[in-house]
């Protein structure tokens, strides 16, 4: 499995009603400095209906970007049970997910 596929594997672990961050996914990959690369992979996601990249937000609870536009990201988040107010996730600490099942593949490459 390549890095992009593994990143998508991680993001698919985020349960309904929860979000995670670019940095948390990068840590689960094994390299915290990989957060920008995670963002790029989310942006290039070929199918937002089967790979929930909309669940990835910034570490301060702000929305970050979304290839289909922020209005669509907000719509998807709300449909998933996540509240958004003024461009931020409501109760971010409560809905933050960081319990990835991972083998930290990038650590092995260092």
Residue 50, domain CATH: 1.10.10.10
- State which residues form the domain around 18: 3-97
Note the pLDDT of residue 108. Answer: 67
Whether residue 110 is predicted with pLDDT greater than 90 in this model: the reply is no
Number of structural domains found in the chain: 1
Residue 110 lies in a domain: no
Stretch 91-100: mean pLDDT, rounded? 98
Active site residues: 53
Residue 78 lies in a domain: yes
Note the pLDDT of residue 67. Answer: 87
| pLDDT 10s digits, 38-72 | 999 998 888 888 899 999 999 999 999 898 899 99
Comparing CA positions, the residue from 39, 2, 15 lying closest to residue 98 is: 15
């Amino acid at each position: 499995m390549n890095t992009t596929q593994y990143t998508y594997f991680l993001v698919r672990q985020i349960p309904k009603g929860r979000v995670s961050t670019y940095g948390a996914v990068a840590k689960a990959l094994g390299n915290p400095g990989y957060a920008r690369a995670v963002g790029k992979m989310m942006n290039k996601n070929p199918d937002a209906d089967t790979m929930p990249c909309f669940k990835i937000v910034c570490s301060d609870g702000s929305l970050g970007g979304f290839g289909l536009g922020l209005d669509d990201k907000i719509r998807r988040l709300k449909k998933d049970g996540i509240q958004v107010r003024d461009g931020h996730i409501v109760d971010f600490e409560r809905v933050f997910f960081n319990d990835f099942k991972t083998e930290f593949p990038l650590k092995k490459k260092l």
